[in-house]
Chains A and B, each alone.
Chain A
Amino acid sequence: AQSVTQPDIHITVSEGASLELRCNYSYGATPYLFWYVQSPGQGLQLLLKYFSGDTLVQGIKGFEAEFKRSQSSFNLRKPSVHWSDAAEYFCAVGDPGGYQKVTFGTGTKLQVIP
Chain B
Amino acid sequence: DSGVTQTPKHLITATGQRVTLRCSPRSGDLSVYWYQQSLDQGLQFLIQYYNGEERAKGNILERFSAQQFPDLHSELNLSSLELGDSALYFCASSAGTGGRDTQYFGPGTRLTVL
Complex contact A97–B97 (CB within 8 A): yes
The interface residues of chain A lying within 8 Å CB-to-CB of B90 are 43-44
Q: Is B44 part of the contact surface with A, judged by Cβ < 8 Å?
A: yes
- Chain A interface SS verdict (over half): loop
Complex CA gap A46/B101 in Å reads 11
Task: Identify which of B56, B96, B103, B108 contacts A46 (C-beta below 8 A).
Answer: B103
CB distance from A113 to the nearest CB of B (A): 26
Number of interface residues of B (CB under 8 A): 28
Which residue of chain B lies nearest to A94 when distances are taken between CB atoms in the complex? B99
Task: Identify which of B2, B35, B99, B101 contacts A32 (C-beta below 8 A).
Answer: B99
Q: Is A10 part of the contact surface with B, judged by Cβ < 8 Å?
A: no
8 A Cβ contacts from B66-82 to A: none
Complex contact B48–A99 (CB within 8 A): yes
The interface residues of chain B lying within 8 Å CB-to-CB of A99 are 31, 33, 48, 92, 94, 99, 103
Task: Identify which of B43, B58, B99, B105 contacts A98 (C-beta below 8 A).
Answer: B99
- Contact of A43 with B2 at beta-carbon distance under 8 Å, contacts A98-B97, A98-B98 already known: yes
Complex contact B58–A101 (CB within 8 A): yes
Enumerate 8 A-B pairs (CB-CB under 8 Å) in ascending A order: A43-B107, A43-B108, A44-B92, A49-B99, A94-B99, A98-B98, A103-B45, A104-B43
Interface residues of B (CB under 8 A from A): 2, 31, 33, 35, 42-45, 48, 55-56, 58, 90, 92, 94, 96-108
